[in-house]
Chain A
Amino acid sequence: MPDALPPAERLLNLVIALVNTTGKMTKEQIRSSVAGYDHAPSTDAFERMFERDKETLRDLGVPVLTVTGAAHGDEQGYRVDVDAYALAPMELSAAQLGVLALAAEFWQDQTLRAEASRALTKLAVVGVRPAEPDVLGLAPRVHPAGPALGPLLDAAAVRQPVRFTYRAASTGEVRERTVEPWRLLASRGGWYLVGLDRDRGAPRVFRLSRIVGQVGHAADPGDYQVPEGADPRALLDSAQEAEARTAWLAIAPERAEALRARARPTAEPGPPAPEGWDLVAVPYTRASDLADEITAYTDAVLVLEPASLRESVLRRLRDAVAMADRLGANHG
């Protein structure tokens, strides 16, 4: 035997052994007979190595079962559930594998990228390789989510409550939260967790980038149900103040073409346009986004209605004037 077998080869031998065993293999049998475990310097070192390997295999979808004998004093053993091991019967065409390759390109997040590319390796077994890589002329890109995503995903998949430290957006207050994760959503450049906040007894939206440190478990898997009528998407939308409305804008001639391009005809006549300005009706859902966008045009776009949107823009403009005064005083 060579010295220490590389981990991938040790794991390969472990899978083959556990697939082929009749009944089960005990830890002792594994240590003494499976290639790669014979170099463990101590029982402790072996135990650690085996536990880690078992977790790695389960993460990869290999169903490693723990088998306990019926008779008293029977030692616990392990085997692979060969029926659960197998991918559902499928054949993928070249076009389908091409679409999957595109989907694998989707993630800029390291965790999901590695997962997707490994899934593609598995599916290559049952598929025809596409001749052209870029079948649709598309390049989807989603922002990375950071380290909290993986543990939250796993917890949501098995309905296991989580605990983490969270920095609130508005106050900056840092607190421990216990949450039943319902769904993870990527939207407008951010990643969000929607779930039941156990301390508040109500659904909440958490931004992943504000989770500080590690995500831990607060209870066992299967500890909660996602309520029948739960609508995580709607909760996120309302957290992002999404509601369909129409803004009536006065736009200076030949300015703000990007806003004009979004204009839609409406049944109502709208407010009267001031002399020398164009009246444009723009549908919107997120008031604060539109207020930011309009503020950037400063005196080229004025809000006529609704008053709430106009006040948002006016507040931003006043803030900017105050800022310039404040900083000017610093420098002056």
Chain B
Amino acid sequence: MAERTPERLVRLLGLVAFLDRHPGVPVEEVAAQFGVSPVQVLRDVDTLWMSGTPGYFPDDLIDFDADSLESGVLRLTQSRGMARALRLGTREAVALVAALRALDASIGDALDPAEREVLRSTLEVLTTATGEAAATVEVQLSVEGDPAVLAAARTALREGRRLHLRYVDAADRTTERDVDPWQLVTGDERSYLSAWCHASGGERLFRLDRILAAQVLDDAVTTSPAPDVQVTYRPAREHPTVRLSLDGRARWAAEQVPTESVVEDDEGFTMELRVATSAWLRALVLRLAPFLRDVEPPAAAADAGAAAARALAAYRELGVDASA
């Protein structure tokens, strides 16, 4: 895919400013610094070499030492007044500052003092440089787990040690297992621990607020995350498909669950989704009950209705008036 114009322009300007500060840097190091391939860096150099002030005679152009380049080293000999590092734009500053603030607020307490200091000092440097505009965005990360669980997960991650978990799943089943922790996935809705589960021999996402207890073991981890480690929950292909027809007031539902398809009609919409557990489906049907027009398979509606009726009976047994 062709690179977008703003990205390339910012890097071209960045290369000149960087090389003005660091005379004589190998192409590979420059590439790593800017997160692009060495081939791309050389292409950028070709462009810079042709660029400069109007007239575009040799003395007007940005220039590099040709001998150094022969041996794979970039040495800037003429910056044409472009040695300054470019400031951040408003949106750019907002994107980084809001992210750092959210991290600090949600997980700062679970970091060790040195890590927290790095986070705080970075935030300070950026806010000093960018000013108040960066306060226009605020993100609340939802890290709702037990603080002791969070602390244990952080320790295990930092020290590369195995964790023993007591975990309750969506079907309300409690299990115990050893895992290699990979990442703490902190989200705006929920947070997860991504890990290799030794009990099931697979990659798993554990909801932080469903980890009942976590104990750091002496054993070192033996697995490491795949490059495309799963960080959001996605139902698998083999899970059965369910179709829910809802009226328009439940449109938020299609924004909150991972759907396969959403089709609009006159009275509302129909969404298809894959369902990993029947307990999860029951919870969803219970939540959407007032808006449901149809469910396929119909047994899902009957199951939720029967469970609700049992609950109402239990309330009556307590002497609670359960009627409307």
Binding site for B on A (CB under 8 A): 6-9, 11-13, 15-17, 19-20, 29, 33-35, 56, 59-62, 82, 84-88, 90, 92-93, 95-96, 98-100, 102-104, 106-107, 111-126, 129, 134-143, 150, 153-154, 156-157, 169-170, 172, 181, 183-190, 209, 232-233, 250, 254-258, 261-262, 274, 292, 295-300, 302, 310, 314-325, 327-328, 330-331
Interface residues of B in 173-198 (CB under 8 A from A): 174, 181-189, 194
A80 to chain B, nearest CB (A): 10
- Known contacts A12-B47, A92-B125, A136-B115; 12 additional CB pairs below 8 A are A9-B47, A112-B95, A140-B186, A141-B185, A153-B137, A188-B142, A232-B138, A292-B287, A317-B308, A317-B309, A321-B308, A330-B294
Among B51, B88, B157, contact of A119 (Cβ-Cβ < 8 Å): B88
Asked if B38 is an interface residue, CB under 8 A from chain A, the answer is no
The closest CB in chain A to the CB of B132 belongs to: A157
Q: In the bound complex, do residue A122 and residue B136 qualify as a contact, i.e. CB atoms below 8 Å apart?
A: no
Q: Which residues of A contact B7 (CB under 8 A)?
A: 114, 117-118, 121
Q: In the bound complex, do residue A119 and residue B84 qualify as a contact, i.e. CB atoms below 8 Å apart?
A: no
The complex places the Cα of A93 from the Cα of B115 at a distance, in Å, of 13
**Chain A residues touching B, majority SS:** helix
Q: In the bound complex, do residue A137 and residue B90 qualify as a contact, i.e. CB atoms below 8 Å apart?
A: no
21 contacts between A and B (CB under 8 A): A60-B86, A82-B81, A87-B84, A90-B129, A99-B118, A115-B95, A118-B6, A119-B92, A122-B10, A124-B35, A134-B183, A137-B158, A150-B91, A154-B91, A184-B138, A258-B210, A316-B287, A321-B312, A324-B302, A324-B306, A327-B302
B195 to chain A, nearest CB (A): 11
Q: A114-B7, A328-B302 are in contact. Are A87 and B86 (CB under 8 A)?
A: yes
The closest CB in chain B to the CB of A136 belongs to: B115
Q: Which residues of A contact B315 (CB under 8 A)?
A: 302, 314
Asked if B249 is an interface residue, CB under 8 A from chain A, the answer is yes
Q: A87-B85, A90-B125, A111-B91 are in contact. Are A125 and B5 (CB under 8 A)?
A: no
Q: A9-B51, A257-B168 are in contact. Are A107 and B99 (CB under 8 A)?
A: yes
B288 to chain A, nearest CB (A): 8
The complex places the Cα of A153 from the Cα of B302 at a distance, in Å, of 46
Q: A140-B99, A141-B231, A323-B289 are in contact. Are A12 and B12 (CB under 8 A)?
A: yes
Q: In the bound complex, do residue B122 and residue A129 qualify as a contact, i.e. CB atoms below 8 Å apart?
A: no
Q: In the bound complex, do residue B88 and residue A17 qualify as a contact, i.e. CB atoms below 8 Å apart?
A: no
The closest CB in chain A to the CB of B138 belongs to: A185
A261 to chain B, nearest CB (A): 5
Q: In the bound complex, do residue B188 and residue A116 qualify as a contact, i.e. CB atoms below 8 Å apart?
A: no
Among B11, B255, B307, contact of A121 (Cβ-Cβ < 8 Å): B11
Q: Which residues of B contact A325 (CB under 8 A)?
A: 305
The complex places the Cα of A122 from the Cα of B96 at a distance, in Å, of 12
Q: In the bound complex, do residue A125 and residue B85 qualify as a contact, i.e. CB atoms below 8 Å apart?
A: yes
Q: In the bound complex, do residue A35 and residue B301 qualify as a contact, i.e. CB atoms below 8 Å apart?
A: no
Q: In the bound complex, do residue B172 and residue A297 qualify as a contact, i.e. CB atoms below 8 Å apart?
A: yes
Q: Which residues of B contact A150 (CB under 8 A)?
A: 91
Stretch at the interface among B13-21, B65-73, B235-243: B13-21
Q: Which residues of B contact A298 (CB under 8 A)?
A: 282, 286, 307-308, 310-311
Asked if B200 is an interface residue, CB under 8 A from chain A, the answer is no
The 5 closest A-B pairs by CB, nearest first: A324-B305, A189-B189, A137-B157, A320-B308, A296-B283
Q: In the bound complex, do residue B256 and residue A189 qualify as a contact, i.e. CB atoms below 8 Å apart?
A: yes
B51 to chain A, nearest CB (A): 5
Q: Which residues of B contact A98 (CB under 8 A)?
A: 118
Among B88, B115, B188, B210, contact of A61 (Cβ-Cβ < 8 Å): B88
Asked if B55 is an interface residue, CB under 8 A from chain A, the answer is yes
The closest CB in chain A to the CB of B53 belongs to: A20
Asked if B141 is an interface residue, CB under 8 A from chain A, the answer is yes
Q: Which residues of B contact A257 (CB under 8 A)?
A: 168, 172, 174, 212
Q: In the bound complex, do residue A172 and residue B248 qualify as a contact, i.e. CB atoms below 8 Å apart?
A: yes
Q: In the bound complex, do residue B33 and residue A35 qualify as a contact, i.e. CB atoms below 8 Å apart?
A: no
Q: In the bound complex, do residue A124 and residue B12 qualify as a contact, i.e. CB atoms below 8 Å apart?
A: no
Asked if B295 is an interface residue, CB under 8 A from chain A, the answer is yes
Among B17, B89, B122, B168, contact of A96 (Cβ-Cβ < 8 Å): B122
B231 to chain A, nearest CB (A): 5
Q: In the bound complex, do residue B34 and residue A124 qualify as a contact, i.e. CB atoms below 8 Å apart?
A: yes
Q: In the bound complex, do residue A323 and residue B305 qualify as a contact, i.e. CB atoms below 8 Å apart?
A: yes
Q: In the bound complex, do residue A318 and residue B312 qualify as a contact, i.e. CB atoms below 8 Å apart?
A: yes
Among B32, B103, B129, contact of A102 (Cβ-Cβ < 8 Å): B103
A160 to chain B, nearest CB (A): 12
Q: A298-B308, A323-B305 are in contact. Are A35 and B96 (CB under 8 A)?
A: no
Q: Which residues of A contact B137 (CB under 8 A)?
A: 153, 183-186
The complex places the Cα of A62 from the Cα of B17 at a distance, in Å, of 14
B58 to chain A, nearest CB (A): 14
Among B29, B85, B119, B286, contact of A86 (Cβ-Cβ < 8 Å): B85
